[in-house]
Structure 1
Amino acid sequence: MSAFNAIGENVERDRNEYTPGLEPQPTWCPGCGDFGVLKALKGAAAELGLSPEEMLVVTGIGCSGKLNSYFDSYGFHTIHGRSLPIARAAKLANPGLTVVAAGGDGDGYGIGGNHFMHSARENHDMTYIVFNNEIFGLTKGQTSPTSPMGHKSKTQPHGSAKQPLRPLSMSLNAGASYVARTAAVNPNQAKDIIVEAIEHDGFSHIDFLTQCPTWNKDAKQYVPYIDINDSEDYDIDVSDRKSASDLMYETENALNEGTVLTGRYYHDEDRPSYQQEKQNIGEMPEEPLAERYFDEDYEWERSYDMFLDKHK
């Protein structure tokens, strides 16, 4: 028995299968980097052979929040900064589901920053794609957590006096077990990284550089870019936290100086996911909770019964 009959199918897929019939054409601005995320995600899902019914895309508020409207799968459009707790709950209830959460740099690193930190710390088995365009785009161009120092906007007319947040370093320090950066101008690398992130058993964080030609005209278009994994100028051991941390710091400094470094930075293949840890201590059943809704003979447990027993 399966809560979703499509889970576990091994068939070839075409990226066009993930184009919805209701709203097939995205309404993002011409030249927006968000198109690159959508294309890469469709390509990754097709390469992995995932049916739309095997996937859940959870989004927050902002331009990035339209992703699940333009990607045909199960979807949940949450409020600002809250995509991760919804995604975590869905994955815990049905571990067989491929869960992808998405948000912008304001949504993910600002308003939802606390959820980001603890989702990484707990190593939930999901992929988190952050559309990083260094601006609040949907609300018309306010300074975001990743806007560079000195950037002028409606909220900082004299230029931002704050250093930008370091998303890669923050992710690694919080405990993410897969950390990468890619860019909309590098679609092949972006697709490959999303494939690896989805296949990884743990919390995968992708900082996805997406240019905003409408509200962040001062930002670089993230070209030319350098792939740290292919370049002879950069030496990194993606299984070593110290090596990853050092190059992340260099990458985050370089971006504000006009040099765009992308690639895989950290990959811990041995760390158990949150779901595995909960099963190891007996606090999560082997049978997915989602299956129980399809079992008419299942006798439901109530958490308050356990508390009442302790006080008798």
Structure 2
Amino acid sequence: MSAFNAIGQNREVDQNEFTPEIEPQATWCPGCGDFGVLKALKGAAAELGLDPEEILLVTGIGCSGKLSSYFESYGFHSIHGRSLPLARGAKLANPKLTVIAAGGDGDGYGIGGNHFMHTARENHDMTYIVFNNEIFGLTKGQTSPTSPKGHKSKTQLEGSAKDPLRPLSMSLSAGASYVARTAAVNPNQAKEIIVEAIQHDGFSHVDFLTQCPTWNKDAKQYVPYVDIQQSEEYDFDITDRREAGHAMYETESALYEGKVLTGRYYKDENRKDYQTEKLDRGSMPDQPIAEQYFDDDHEWKRSYDLLDAHK
């Protein structure tokens, strides 16, 4: 039994199925890197043979938040920095659902940084795409957690005195089991990485470099870029945390020196995801909550039925 009949159909899917009828044309600024995320996500979903009803896309506040309006699937437009806890709850309630969360660098690494850290630590089985344009775009150009040191903005008139956050390194140290960086200027790699991220069992973090031509004109357009898997200069084992950590640190430092490195950085296929850990400990029902609502024979437990467990 499935909570949604579409789950597990295994049919050939055209990416145009992910273009909604209500808002088919995205209204981001011309030249915005967010278009690249949308295109890569549509291509990845179609390549995986996913039906729109098999996917839940949860977004935060910001330019990136409109992704759920421009992508045909189940969607939830959450408040600032809160896409991950909603996505986690949905995945636990209906594990067969493909859950994707998305937000900007301010939304995900700043306002929602606490949720990002703990979702990675718990290794929830979902994909998190962070639109990283090094600026708060929707609110008209304030310094964000990834803005380079010295960057001048409406909130840092004399230039930011803070070092930028290192999202890849933070993700690895927090416990994410798949970490990658791609860019809107590299559409083929972007689609491939999102495919891998969705297929991965565990928390997949994709730092997606998206240029903002309106509010961050001083930023690079993230070209030329170097795919670390295609370059002989960067040879490391993505399953080795220590080697991955060194590669991430080099990548994050190079970005602010004018060199754009992208690719896969870390993958742990042996670690159990959060739901599996809970099931193994008997602290989660074998029948998902979403399916219980569709089961007329299910006996619902009330809080007073559980009181003996606390004696």
Shorter-chain TM-score: what band?
over 0.9
C-alpha distance in structure 2 between counterparts of 1:265 and 1:258, whole Å: 20
Identify the residue that residue 173 of structure 1 maps to in structure 2.
173
Identify the residue that residue 223 of structure 2 maps to in structure 1.
223
C-alpha distance in structure 1 between counterparts of 2:256 and 2:303, whole Å: 51
Tell me the amino acid that sits aligned with residue 275 of structure 2.
Q
SS in 2 for 1:17: helix
Instruction: Confirm whether residue 90 of structure 1 aligns to residue 90 of structure 2.
Output: yes
C-alpha distance in structure 2 between counterparts of 1:22 and 1:309, whole Å: 49
User: Quick one: percent identity of the two aligned structures?
Assistant: 79
SS in 2 for 1:136: coil
Contact 1:62–1:138 (Cα < 8 Å) also in 2: yes
What stretches of structure 2 of length at least 5 have no aligned partner?
none
Following TM superposition, by how much is the alpha carbon of 1:297 offset from its aligned partner in structure 2, in angstroms? 1.8
Deviations 1:243-282 (A, max 9, x none): 1000100000000000000000000000000000000100
C-alpha distance in structure 1 between counterparts of 2:304 and 2:67, whole Å: 39
Following TM superposition, by how much is the alpha carbon of 1:310 offset from its aligned partner in structure 2, in angstroms? 3.7
Identify the residue that residue 21 of structure 2 maps to in structure 1.
21
C-alpha distance in structure 1 between counterparts of 2:231 and 2:309, whole Å: 62
Identify the residue that residue 209 of structure 2 maps to in structure 1.
209
Instruction: Confirm whether residue 274 of structure 1 aligns to residue 287 of structure 2.
Output: no
C-alpha distance in structure 1 between counterparts of 2:287 and 2:181, whole Å: 35
Following TM superposition, by how much is the alpha carbon of 1:198 offset from its aligned partner in structure 2, in angstroms? 0.2
C-alpha distance in structure 1 between counterparts of 2:16 and 2:240, whole Å: 38
Q: TM-score, normalization: structure 2?
A: 0.99
Deviations 1:95-120 (A, max 9, x none): 00000000000000000000000000
Following TM superposition, by how much is the alpha carbon of 1:183 offset from its aligned partner in structure 2, in angstroms? 0.1
Instruction: Confirm whether residue 262 of structure 1 aligns to residue 253 of structure 2.
Output: no
Identify the residue that residue 246 of structure 2 maps to in structure 1.
246
Following TM superposition, by how much is the alpha carbon of 1:303 offset from its aligned partner in structure 2, in angstroms? 3.6
Identify the residue that residue 39 of structure 1 maps to in structure 2.
39
When the two chains are superposed, the root-mean-square deviation of aligned CA atoms in Å is: 0.8
Contact 1:229–1:236 (Cα < 8 Å) also in 2: no
C-alpha distance in structure 1 between counterparts of 2:221 and 2:96, whole Å: 37
Matches within 5 A, 1:93-112: 93-112=93-112
Tell me the amino acid that sits aligned with residue 159 of structure 1.
G
What stretches of structure 1 of length at least 5 have no aligned partner?
none
Tell me the amino acid that sits aligned with residue 190 of structure 1.
A
Contact 1:177–1:203 (Cα < 8 Å) also in 2: yes
Alignment length, in residue pairs?
A: 311
